[in-house]
């Protein structure tokens, strides 16, 4: 048995949030998400959280999770093993929703602002020529350039962990800038200048304070902080080229 302490809040009924405590039986290999499903199925069916794929693919189950051996991180509940959180097979696991986003209920947050920022960077290929009838050819070497950033599943863990996103809701967030790098480096895309102008401002690149929480918490081991540094360099080179009349 382990104790799950789960953030509870219903804006329609509650003035402040609280933590509900639930005894959850577990065995080796069980995930935090399975623990939450146990609570819904056996203890309290009113608990609200999001999940879908259960395989770290859809990004819907990101939340803040801490345990005896783990001081708390934004992670995916579906690939966080209970045994990794407990010191001697027992203890308390505390679960809270993603930060900086309004709470719909319990662990479910309103992702509107998160996706509004994502949409603002034009997250699709912008080719200059008429697309070929069959396909754009991309070599394995060219594909490798976008391999890392393409793996981002937009779970929101980086956004929840970023204090800048917490203090400035207009900040585009690490996810938007990582995805900009993904399209910038794609050989099928030709909107490099436009992409830099979309993030090269005080809501984007220059709002980041290089705190690196996003890099520490990414459940897919990506490097949004590195992507932000790379995009800053690209912007500076573009400005220098412009000043020299070369671009």
- Burial environment of residue 221 by CB neighbours within 10 A (0 to 12, 13 to 18, 19 or more): exposed
Beta bridge partners of 5: 21, 94
x/- letters, 67..106, toward ligand FES (CB under 6 A): ---------x-x----------------------------
Q: Specify the residue, 179 or 207, whose C-beta has the smaller distance to ligand FES.
A: 179
* Interface positions, 127-146, toward ligand FES (CB under 6 A): none
Measuring CA to CA, which residue among 221, 246, 181 is closest to residue 76? Answer: 221
Report in angstroms how near the CB of residue 173 gets to ligand FES at its nearest: 18
Catalogue the E-assigned strands of the chain.
2-8, 18-24, 62-67, 70-76, 92-96, 103-105, 108-109
Q: Specify the residue, 76 or 208, whose C-beta has the smaller distance to ligand FES.
A: 76
Report in angstroms how near the CB of residue 44 gets to ligand FES at its nearest: 20
* Interface positions, 48-67, toward ligand FES (CB under 6 A): 51-54, 56-61
CA distance 40 to 75: 20
Report in angstroms how near the CB of residue 163 gets to ligand FES at its nearest: 24
Strands 92-96 and 108-109: unpaired
Q: Specify the residue, 49 or 184, whose C-beta has the smaller distance to ligand FES.
A: 49
CA distance 206 to 55: 35
Report in angstroms how near the CB of residue 79 gets to ligand FES at its nearest: 7
For residues 205 and 160, the answer to whether their CB atoms sit within 8 Å is no
How many residues of this chain bind ligand FES (CB under 6 A)? 12
* Interface positions, 194-233, toward ligand FES (CB under 6 A): none
């Amino acid at each position: 048995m382990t104790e799950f302490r789960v953030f509870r809040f219903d804006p329609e009924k509650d003035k402040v949030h609280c933590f509900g405590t639930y005894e959850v039986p577990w065995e080796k290999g069980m995930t935090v998400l399975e623990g939450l499903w146990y609570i819904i199925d056996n203890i309290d069916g009113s608990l609200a959280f999001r999940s879908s794929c259960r395989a770290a693919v859809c990004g819907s189950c990101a939340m803040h999770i801490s345990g005896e051996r783990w001081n708390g991180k934004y992670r995916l509940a579906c690939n966080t093993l209970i045994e990794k959180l407990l010191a001697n097979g027992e203890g308390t696991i505390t679960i809270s929703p993603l930060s900086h986003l309004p709470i719909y209920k319990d662990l479910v947050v309103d992702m509107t602002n998160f996706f509004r920022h994502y949409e603002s960077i034009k997250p699709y290929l912008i080719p200059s020529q008429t697309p070929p009838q069959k396909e754009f050819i991309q070599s394995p070497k060219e594909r490798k350039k976008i391999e890392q950033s393409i793996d981002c599943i937009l779970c929101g863990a980086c956004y929840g962990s970023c204090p800048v996103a917490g203090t400035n809701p207009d900040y585009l967030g690490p996810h938007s800038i990582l995805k900009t790098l993904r399209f910038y480096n794609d050989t099928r895309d030709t909107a490099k200048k436009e992409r830099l102008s979309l993030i090269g401002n005080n809501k984007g690149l220059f709002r980041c304070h290089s705190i690196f929480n996003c890099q520490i918490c990414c459940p897919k081991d990506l490097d949004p902080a590195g992507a932000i540094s790379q995009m800053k360099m690209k912007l500076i080179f573009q400005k220098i080229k412009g000043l020299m009349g070369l671009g």
